[in-house]
Copies of this chain bind each other. A is one copy, B any other.
Amino acid sequence: MAQPKQERAEQTRRALLTAAAEVFDEFGYAGASITRILKRAGVTAGALYFHFGSKEDLAKAVMNSQPETLVPLLAAGGLQRLIDLTLVWSWQLQRDPLLRAGVRLTNEQASINGTLNADPYENFRGIMVGCLHEALESGELQPGVDPVVVAEFVVAACTGMQMYSNVVSGRSDLPERTQQMWNLILPGLAVPSVITRAETSPARGSALMP
């Protein structure tokens, strides 16, 4: 029986997104040619322009798919959910081209269209604010801690940690650095009982992965 049309279109879209991520990850935005992306995906130029209007739109789709690949892996709620997000991210960044390309494109984005685009940060920020509001309502946060301030700091710190880790270890020490971040910031934001039970080890991130 033939595949339904919609299912085939979705498969083509995923193939294009994955191929584009691999090529952007390897060559950067400027060095990524449409021809190479099409060859890698095994699809026609027509299919590309049907799903994505341009190379720029394709890059935006790659950047915006960063958090959605991680959320289904999160097991806990509240503050532990936020910790899990960063632990899983620190592992997945080493092996998921879609996530890695998203990071590279975010860093390079000033050269894509001359204007800076906050979307990739905002997507992560939104998920983190959600976790922290849940933490606040469950009494996990110290009085006066602002979920938005914490979420924006964690987004920023993770951005910088992956850059630093990439330069010094090709990102292999990122899970350990993520744990060190939590050891440093938990005492400033969580109540003592939550600090005691929080699990921040790289092994937890690894165990949550698919």
Contact = CB atoms under 8 A, between A and B. Distances in A.
A160 interface: yes
A163 interface: yes
Which label, helix, strand, loop or mixed, suits the secondary structure of the A interface?
Answer: helix
A67 B113 CA distance: 30
A166 B160 CA distance: 13
A180 B118 CA distance: 20
Contact of A186 (B28, B181, B188): B188
A138 interface: no
Given A181-B153, A184-B188, A164 B159 contact: yes
B118 A168 contact: yes
Nearest to A118: B167
Contacts of A111: 28, 30
Size band of the A side of the interface? 35 or more
A185 interface: yes
Nearest to A186: B188
Interface in A160-189: 160-161, 163-168, 177, 180-181, 183-189
A131 to B, nearest CB: 16
A161 B160 contact: yes
A209 interface: no
19 contacts: A28-B111, A121-B168, A152-B164, A152-B177, A153-B157, A153-B161, A153-B177, A156-B164, A156-B165, A156-B177, A158-B160, A160-B163, A183-B188, A184-B185, A184-B188, A184-B189, A185-B188, A187-B187, A187-B188
